[in-house]
């Protein structure tokens, strides 16, 4: 998939745990975990907004586009 989720990177930079982020954005641990591991197939703008507010970041800090060409080179 050409969209990479860098939530774990931003969480590490902000020194915030999955539990703490879950409480701040009012999402279940399982849903946040799915997002963090890159297994999510979609994200609501309201969820992205809450995460960006909680981590004081931009959507581009969390979501990254990688072309199909680039992703096949790295594998």
Domains of the chain: 3-74 (1.10.260.40)
DSSP helix, strand, coil percent of the chain (3-state; round to 5): 60, 10, 30
Residues 4-48 have pLDDT tens digits of 999 999 999 999 999 999 999 999 999 999 999 989 999 999 999
Q: Can you give the pTM of this predicted structure?
A: 0.85
Q: Indicate whether 60 pLDDT > 80.
A: yes
**What is the pLDDT, as a whole number, of residue 73?**
61
Distance of CA 73 to the CA centre of its chain: 23
Six-digit token string for 54: 């909680």
Predicted confidence at residue 42, as pLDDT, reads 93
Closest by Cα among 58, 63, 71 to 40: 63
Count of CB atoms within 10 A of residue 66's CB?
Answer: 14
Helix/strand/coil for 65: strand
- Segment 58-66 shows an average pLDDT of 96
């Amino acid at each position: 998939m050409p969209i990479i989720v860098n939530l774990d990177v931003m969480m590490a930079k902000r020194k915030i745990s999955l539990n703490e982020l879950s409480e701040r954005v009012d999402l279940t641990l399982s849903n946040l975990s799915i997002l963090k591991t890159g297994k999510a197939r979609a994200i609501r703008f309201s969820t992205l907004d809450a995460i960006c507010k909680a981590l004081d970041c931009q959507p581009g800090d969390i979501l990254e586009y990688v072309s199909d060409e680039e992703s096949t080179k790295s594998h």
